[in-house]
Chains A and B, each alone.
Chain A
Amino acid sequence: MSGIVLELRGVSLERGGRRVLRGVDLAVPDHGITVLAGPSGAGKSSLLRLFNRLEAPTSGTVLFRGRDVAGLDPLWLRRRVGMVFQRPTPFPGTVRDNLLVGAPESGPAELAGALARAGLDEGFLDRPADDLSGGELQRMCLARALAPRPEVLLLDEPTSSLDPRAREVVERTGLRLAREGVPLVWVTHDMAQGERVADRVAVLVDGAVREQGHGSRVREVLGREDAAPAAGGPGGG
């Protein structure tokens, strides 16, 4: 039976006197890939950061499996709601050291498992993280986020800093994770990518959800927004 893993109810966010999000209502199902699309500065990244409490809403409620995240231990929440950032950020040390930051209790088999789910073999475990290529690095970050075995994964423009080949590998990895049962919330401003990966799409413009639809309607939903006149919207990405 499918349910809702993450939900925003009437969420607004102000930062430095600017309204970044305005009364957003959004539900993320516990399966498949939900794409958050929209122009730069629409508030996509800020919205994503509300789900794991890297940001706190000015008003409204953020729910994880029906529970208000404001009442949950943020450290526990962040282990359940993994996140991969736009720019890969390796920590000093080896790939193993990186994976152990989020899952310090993990043994070699669990670490190798996390790497495999991100499309890397266990030979990477002892490689220095800063020796990896851009694509490998982003997949290591994916493995790092997967190591604590989260229930849902947030991807903030995970391929925007990668070359086309690495982008394709990360996309394939995301699709496989979704098939394996990890729901993903994927932020992108790339319509073609949205089309390739989305099961559902929500379009954010000026800090508000303008359109929502099934993955098969990505081009229709995004195309309509592309044709809409641009407005001077809030920042926050």
Chain B
Amino acid sequence: MEGDVGALGVLASLSLVAIAALISARLGLGLELAIGGAAARALAQLLLVGAALGIVIGQDQPLAWSWLWVAGILLIASWVVWRRAPELPGVFWLALAANVVTAAVVAGLVFGLGVFPLEGRTLIPVMGMTIGNALTATVVAATLLVREVGERRDDVEARLALGRPWQDAVRPHLRAVLRAAISPQIERTRHLGTVFLPGAMVGLILAGVDPLDAVLVQGALMYVILGSVATSTAVIALGAAHRLFTRDHRLLPLARATGPPPEERLARRALALLRRGGDRAG
């Protein structure tokens, strides 16, 4: 098939969306409209992005347009972190710093070492995948740190009261948070190819690329993603920890104000959506 999916092919794949909507209707989940809306919105967004990408990474376009696109990715990702972790003061700038550092490290290594050629068609996808995958870990690191320090305030203040600087007082908790934020990506990397086949590799194989070549591309991307997750979480967690203390090594009271963890928030949002759907269905 050589990866040519025509309009008919896309329409045919919509039958699976119809199956999802059917399941929702049969089980009374009330998610039919949400499923249909999400599918339509995704298609519209992808068409728009595809058209814009076509212009930005076109043969004669200057690379500056691609860098601008990357800047947009960085800004949007930072905004998403701010939306999801508002309890941390200045989280937007922290997230932006984490994303910029990560992007700089990744771009420097990937393009500097010649893993991929520096072109618009490589720059935007690599940066998009890198920042997109680091996003979840960044949010988890920021929110978990505020929660952990708030819950272990006694421990942190006991260390401060012994004359330890804030960096020492927060270190055990920082370690725990970074482990929690980075571990899922390590797990994903460990089970790559055995439990799941990642999107980039599947896409390449479907597009007719030799599977071995697809594997090499995917391997390089996974290493980049693993490194970027570690970099961005470390930057945001260290920056966040700094903001929880005053210059004279006092823990700010804000650490007590913690919301539910991100996974719990997601579950609550899903439940709220289900309830709204149930109300409508009822």
**Interface residues, chain A, with chain B CB atoms under 8 Å away:** 15-16, 52-56, 74-76, 78-79, 82-83, 85, 87, 89, 91-92, 101-102, 141, 144-145, 148
Contacts and interface: CB of A to CB of B under 8 A. Distances in A.
Contacts of A89: 154-155, 158
B164 A101 contact: yes
Interface residues of B, number: 18
A235 B195 CA distance: 54
B163 A79 contact: yes
A145 B159 CA distance: 10
Given A53-B248, A74-B249, A75-B249, A91 B163 contact: no
B155 A54 contact: no
11 contacts: A52-B161, A54-B250, A56-B246, A74-B250, A75-B163, A78-B161, A78-B162, A79-B163, A85-B158, A92-B172, A102-B164
Given A78-B160, A102-B162, A148-B162, A56 B154 contact: no
B159 A101 contact: yes
Nearest to B153: A89
B165 interface: yes
B154 A85 contact: yes
A83 B163 contact: no
B253 interface: yes
A54 B163 contact: no
Given A56-B250, A101-B159, 9 more contacts: A15-B253, A54-B160, A75-B163, A78-B160, A85-B158, A89-B155, A91-B155, A101-B164, A144-B162
B157 interface: yes
Interface string B158-198: 11111111000000100000000000000000000000000
A54 B157 contact: yes
Nearest to B157: A54
A237 to B, nearest CB: 13
Interface string B232-248: 00000000000000101
Interface in B228-276: 246, 248-251, 253
A196 B253 CA distance: 34
Residue of B157, B163, B251 ringed by the most chain A CB atoms within 10 A: B163
Contacts of B158: 85, 89, 91, 141
A91 B161 contact: no
Contacts of A76: 163
A78 B160 CA distance: 8
A145 B162 contact: yes
A79 B250 CA distance: 15
A102 to B, nearest CB: 3
A142 to B, nearest CB: 12
Closest 9 A/B residue pairs (Cβ):
A102-B162, A79-B163, A78-B163, A83-B161, A89-B158, A89-B154, A74-B248, A75-B163, A74-B249
A56 to B, nearest CB: 7
Given A15-B253, A53-B248, A101 B154 contact: no
Contact of A91 (B159, B160, B248): B159
